[in-house]
Chain A
């Protein structure tokens, strides 16, 4: 009981089925405030399905998912939209920046849906990821690494309870991979809770804990 109240993420007996296909079965995870956790597993292990549930983009078929004290497993779509807006920062493998908005405007868009778009705060977030000089560039004018850093700045702008990063270095070269991982580690050192989805064992070693999935089941938790 104590663990539930101190955890940012508490998953108990969670299952997800698509018709007759079971994507996740009996998943139990607890992630504490300020942890840096990697969820790993091969393709088809259920990583993305789990991430969708953790980010409130999907709902579990069974079990409980408590995010920052809120039972998110039985919310309506509208309520899950609010939870995403208030508590979750998302970092995507394909960056997903709006192509016709500048780097700054992409960050301000997250503020727009959350509360109000403030240019100074958005500039500070860009500065935090080292891109304050590139604020007026469109995504097509930025490198992959720069786009991912804009994506991280956008994920952080509304001070979310957790940052969920889905293969954030999957489309980057080694140098940019290091840059992004350094940034995530630094954010974690500052107290951010970060959940990293990856199939790269080297990246997993950079986190506090690895949760390994296999065929939709929790295989083990390291250390």
Chain B
């Protein structure tokens, strides 16, 4: 038994020596094969890192496209709108990491110097987070206690002959309350906001005489799949006078864009893998052609087909593992560059990338090696040893 083990050990040592020498002496083609695998593995690893991170990162990115969640009074509610304190409690219950921004909205009709307008009370800090796409001529209202400023929609500003810096008198519909405001900015959204005037929620509540009330609220929540529905269901269960629902159109387009981007990344990765496979195939084919006399000699000396297959498979596996290892490092760096360029965020290392990249690289390398190894096995020693 000891003798058998010793023979195995000796044969294994010789095999490793063959492997080492074959890969390290005259190694130009080996380097080309390693680089091919490395480039493929780097792209796969970078895209896999992004892919695994993308749902979270992309959802976050998509939230710049507007609110995706609506909160309003239940149809059966006795009084107008929602109590602000209840709404604050509701927002406080949401997971902070999921909430990108929110604003309560209170609507009412007011009189201006040149006619009537829709006044909207908002939380400007929250509004700015959920509507970063608004074109603002002037400055955003920065603080919630700024009761002397307003932001005016573009079409309303044209009608009322207002521009940033202008002042306007705002009078309640029953003429019992009035205030003079400075226009801080004119906004352009391309939507109904262009005909509205925005003030702080507190000022709107006073002007409209609706203290502690809001009509509705819009939120921007990072939610994947059915998560938005679950959040809505939980709110509806815990707050009976309130209806919460995802804004379906935006949520669904988030998902569709994510699906398309993920599909595109998979397509790029697959294309790169195919190119890598072809590159490695060409290199291994050239290696086999160059080493045909050596393979013929090994067969003449009594090497079985499985020994030839084993040798080339092992060489391919080593080339692949070295290439994949280097590719993983390179790919992680590439993922950081892409992460910064596209999402302005560092990409987190995901352990799943390791087996995924190594597995796909091995698969590509083995597919690339299949034909060259078949050629190696089919080499006729008598021919190649005579130099044919």
The interface of chain A, by Cβ under 8 A from chain B, is 48, 52, 55, 57-58, 78, 81-82, 84-86, 90, 92, 94, 96, 98-101, 105, 108-118, 138, 154
Contact = CB atoms under 8 A, between A and B. Distances in A.
B11 A55 contact: no
Contacts of A48: 386
Given A57-B382, A81-B299, A109 B14 contact: yes
B381 interface: yes
Q: Is the interface of B mostly helix, strand, loop or mixed?
A: helix
B7 interface: yes
A115 B7 contact: yes
A98 B300 contact: no
B302 A118 contact: no
A-B pairs with the 10 shortest C-beta distances?
Answer: A85-B302, A100-B25, A57-B382, A116-B7, A113-B302, A100-B21, A117-B14, A112-B14, A52-B382, A116-B10
Nearest to A158: B302
B300 A55 contact: yes
18 contacts: A57-B382, A57-B385, A81-B304, A84-B300, A86-B302, A90-B301, A96-B300, A99-B25, A99-B294, A100-B22, A101-B17, A109-B301, A112-B18, A113-B301, A113-B304, A117-B13, A117-B14, A138-B25
B293 interface: yes
B26 A99 contact: yes
Interface residues of B, number: 33
A109 B14 CA distance: 8
Nearest to B296: A96
A94 B387 contact: yes
Interface string B5-19: 011001101110110
Contacts of A94: 385, 387
B297 interface: yes
B11 A117 contact: yes
B18 A116 contact: no
Interface string B239-261: 00000000000000000000000
B300 A100 contact: no
Contacts of B14: 105, 108-109, 111-112, 117
Interface in B76-118: none
